[in-house]
Chains A and B, each alone.
Chain A
Amino acid sequence: MRTTKNNFKRKTLPKSPTSIQGLDEITGGGLPKGRPTLVCGGAGCGKTLFAMEFLVRGATEYNEPGVFISFEETENELTSNVASLGFDLKKLVAQKKIWLEHIHVEREEIEQIGDYDLEGLFVRIHYAIESIGAKRVVLDTLETLFSELPNSQILRSELRRLFNWLKKKGVTTIITAERGDGTLTRNGLEEYVSDCVILLDHRVNDQSSIRRLRIVKYRGSTHGTNEYPFLIDEDGFSVLPVTSLGLNYDSSLERISTGIPRLDTMLSGKGYFRGSTVLVSGTAGTGKTSIAAQFVEAACKRGEKVLYFTFEESPGQLTRNMKSIGIDLEPWERKGLLQFHATRPTLYGLETHLTTSIKLINQFKPGIVILDPINGFMIGENQTEVKNMLLRLVDFLKMKRITAFFTSLTTANDNLENSDVYVSSLIDTWLLLRDIEIGGERNRGLYVLKSRGMAHSNQIREFRLTNDGIELVDVYVGVDGVLTGSARLSRELEDDAEKLLRQQEIGSKQFSLERKREAMEAQIIVLRSEFEAEESESLKIIGIEKARNERFSKDKAEMAKSRKGDIPLKTIKTKKKK
């Protein structure tokens, strides 16, 4: 004890990866290595498949050969049953990577006299393990032994011995068992296999089936304790532990256009964030799908791939309808940039939808995913489940930096802001479309209810579907409140008329002013010419007067000269000189 205390190190249990999508995440690496794991569940819940996938993955991906001891199905049955999931058991058996063995006992043929043990089973398992060097062993529905062999007491002690023996051998074992009434297994095997117990469940709720997986216990290891939905499809088993992913994804600063210039402007000029989640909600016929289509077209024009899940319309109907508002999606579909995926929401359970979506997304690798609409999933009172599903999907998309675009149909009676409350926390940008009823007509109004991380507009815009796509128009906000449609038009016309009138008034004012200026200038010209006439007359008189004065003084001097008067000589001299 002391040494273990002193040498205590936080050491995790060695684990054997299952490679089952999602399971390794919730178990923290896989099943306990070298120990038995009990997988229990009702009929048809996928126990055999779970075990088989564990073996096949081990053999093909981790080079750990595996032994499958089947107590129910024969080798041939097994081979053909899992062939549909893409496992080629024949080949693996031939390569000595998998060992199949069918163990079957006819109860009628057997009689017990005296004590016995299960050494035969031990020897066979041992022989199988040694033959291919197996690291993994599956005992599929070991409990059938209880109905095939007499004396369950001996059987119990032998099985206990078997599990210990397998542990000692260090092989990772899966033991499957049918679920009993009120207990995990019919014969209480969980008492013996105490390292790891996984419970598979298959429920039907409101006519849709849900498969779930829960780790009941996992000795010496932390593990996810929730019920995780899982799915069996053509690629095998997948668990959806997306809720365990947490909120540690990067956020992009990149913005992508909505395809509607004015809507971009409303979202601080640039559009949605890449990798964000957009919800458009509104009552019937408010144009949710059109906004989606406009977004799709813009994305395809940029060369991005779009995956469009439509749950109410067929792709053909959708493209036709969008053509009527000038959005042609067909060429993009032909080019392979746009992929439609149409299913009825009620066709599968939520988990199947989720996993098929995730699978398609992984295959197609789109930049944008549209879900139109998400309401179809609401069957009865399954809001939490729908929310969980969407949460998983949103988490997944955010991890992949895929922009998600959901539409949601709200009923007219609800308070619009409340109607999608169950998903609102997942949404980054929420556009609300609403009918505005004025003057006997309905018009569409659009506003941004929220948009995380950007300064978005608080204005209502009138939203119009024209032949050339979507158009956002300012609503009329005036003394009469918000006006749209023809009310807005008539009001605007009135306004225009008023404006025209005022313009005319101004025009005439300017005109009269101009005339006055012209009159004034004409008067100035008249005055000037009068003045000029007077001026020249005056100058003439002045000139005559001057000449006369000169003449007079000259005459005077000459007269003095002739009379030899006493006029100063100087003047005479100079005059002479001249």
Chain B
Amino acid sequence: MNTNNKRSDKLILRLFIAGKTLRCITALNNLKLICEESMKGKYKIEVIDILKNPKLAKENQILAIPTLVRKLPLPRKNIIGDLSDRELVIAGLNYRTNI
């Protein structure tokens, strides 16, 4: 379990957006804020604009925008919406319980 914890220490997130719409920017800002505040240094955010890279939308089965994908730690998890509720996002990412 310990080794597992170490490995999953790092949170790898992917945020799918479609252009610079208000909702997408809000989501990105919310995410950044939450991560900075609660898990500083332990996360990595990758932002993917499906307008620029539509193939990735297919590969990742993205429908709703914005979608936040927790790639690591497993299991993969998706959160859709503009991430406007901080507590829910933290709970949703399951960050604390996983440690």
Please give me the residue from chain B that is nearest to A131 by CB atom.
B54
Pick the interface stretch among A115-123, A257-265, A547-555: A115-123
B83 touches A120 (CB 8 A): no
Q: A279: shortest Cβ distance to chain B, in Å?
A: 60
Partner of B79, one of A113, A118, A119, A123: A113
Assuming the contacts A113-B92, A118-B65, asked whether A123 and B57 have C-beta atoms less than 8 A apart, the reply is yes
Chain A residues bordering chain B, tally (CB within 8 A): 25
Q: Are B58 and A109 in contact (CB under 8 A)?
A: no
A109 engages B78 (CB within 8 Å): yes
Evaluate contact between B63 and A118: CB separation under 8 angstroms.
yes
A42 to nearest B CB, angstroms? 26
CB-defined contacts of B62 to chain A, threshold 8 Å: 120, 124
How many residues belonging to B are interface residues under a CB distance threshold of 8 Å?
A: 34
* B contact residues around A122 at 8 Å (CB): 18
Tell me, yes or no, whether A126 is within 8 Å of chain B by CB: yes
- Bound form: Cα–Cα A238–B82 in Å: 48
Chain A: minimal CB distance from B49 (Å)? 10
CB of B60 to closest CB in A, whole Å: 9
Q: Does A111 contact B (CB under 8 A)?
A: yes
Any B CB within 8 A of the CB of A436:
no
Smallest Cβ distance from A117 to chain B, in angstroms?
A: 6
The B34-68 residues at the A interface (CB cut-off 8 A) are 50-51, 54-55, 57-58, 61-67
| Contact between chains at A124 and B57 (CB < 8 Å) | yes
Contact A112 B80 (CB under 8 A): yes
Residues of chain A in range 80-129 having any CB-CB distance to chain B below 8 Å: 101, 103-105, 109-124, 126-127
In whole angstroms, how far apart are the Cα atoms of A466 and B62 in the complex?
80
Residue ranges of A at the interface with B (Cβ–Cβ < 8 Å): 101, 103-105, 109-124, 126-127, 145, 149-150
Separation in Å of the B64 CB from the closest CB of chain A? Answer: 4
CB atoms of A111 and B77 under 8 A apart: yes
Instruction: Say yes or no for B72: interface residue by CB 8 A criterion.
Output: no
B89: CB under 8 A from chain A?
yes
Which of B23, B30, B75, B85 is in CB contact (< 8 Å) with A116? B23
Taking A110-B64, A115-B84, A116-B81 as known contacts, 20 extra A-B pairs with beta carbons closer than 8 A to each other, sorted by chain A number, are: A101-B58, A104-B61, A109-B76, A111-B77, A111-B79, A111-B92, A113-B80, A113-B88, A115-B23, A116-B23, A119-B18, A119-B50, A120-B16, A120-B62, A120-B67, A121-B63, A122-B18, A124-B57, A127-B58, A145-B63
Instruction: Select B77's contact among A105, A109, A115, beta carbons within 8 Å.
Output: A109
**B32 vs chain A, min Cβ distance (A):** 15
Q: Does B27 contact A (CB under 8 A)?
A: yes
Q: Determine whether the beta carbon of B79 is less than 8 Å from that of A117.
A: no
Q: Binary interface profile of B, 1-36, with partner A (CB < 8 Å = 1, else 0)?
A: 000000000000000101001010011001000000
Sort A-B residue pairs by CB-CB distance and give the 3 closest, nearest first: A114-B81, A114-B82, A127-B54
Which chain B residues lie closer than 8 Å to A118 at the CB level?
63-65
Candidates B27, B55, B64; contact of A120 at CB < 8 Å: B64
In the bound complex, how far is the Cα of B23 from the Cα of A459, in angstroms?
A: 91
> Do the beta carbons of A123 and B50 come within 8 Å of each other?
yes
A123 contacts which of B26, B54, B75, B80 (Cβ < 8 Å)? B54
**Can you give 30 contacting A-B residue pairs, CB < 8 Å?**
A103-B61, A104-B61, A105-B61, A109-B77, A109-B78, A110-B79, A110-B80, A111-B79, A111-B80, A113-B79, A113-B81, A113-B83, A113-B85, A114-B30, A116-B65, A116-B82, A117-B23, A118-B63, A120-B62, A120-B63, A121-B64, A122-B18, A123-B51, A123-B54, A124-B57, A124-B62, A124-B63, A126-B54, A127-B54, A149-B80
A114-B27 CB under 8 A given contacts A123-B57, A124-B58: yes
Q: How far is the CA of A150 from the CA of B21 in the complex (A)?
A: 21
B82, A115: Cβ atoms closer than 8 Å? yes
What residue of chain B has the Cβ atom nearest to residue A155's Cβ?
B64
Which chain A residue lies CB-closest to B79? A111
Residues of A within 8 A of B66 (CB): 116
Contacts of B26 in A (CB 8 A): 114
**Residue of B with least CB distance to A122:** B18
| B78→A119 contact, CB < 8 A | no
A379 to B50 Cα, complex, angstroms: 59
Give the complex CA separation of A111 and B63 in angstroms. 13
Report how far A388 CA is from B62 CA in the complex, Å.
50
Asked whether A120 and B18 contact (CB < 8 A) given A109-B77, A127-B58, the answer is yes
Partner of B81 from the list A103, A115, A120, A123 (CB cut-off 8 Å) is: A115
CB contacts (< 8 Å) of B65 on chain A: these are 116-120, 123
Q: Which residue of B lies closest to A145 (CB)?
A: B63
Name which residue of chain A comes closest to B16, CB basis: A120
A104 to B58, CA, bound (A): 10
A111 to B64, CA, bound (A): 11
Q: Are A114 and B84 in contact, with the CB atoms below 8 A?
A: yes
Inside 8 A of A110's CB, which chain B residues have their CB? 64, 78-80
Q: Is the CB of A117 within 8 A of B64?
A: yes
Cα A119 to Cα B78 with chains together (Å): 16
Check B23 against A113 for contact (C-beta < 8 Å).
no
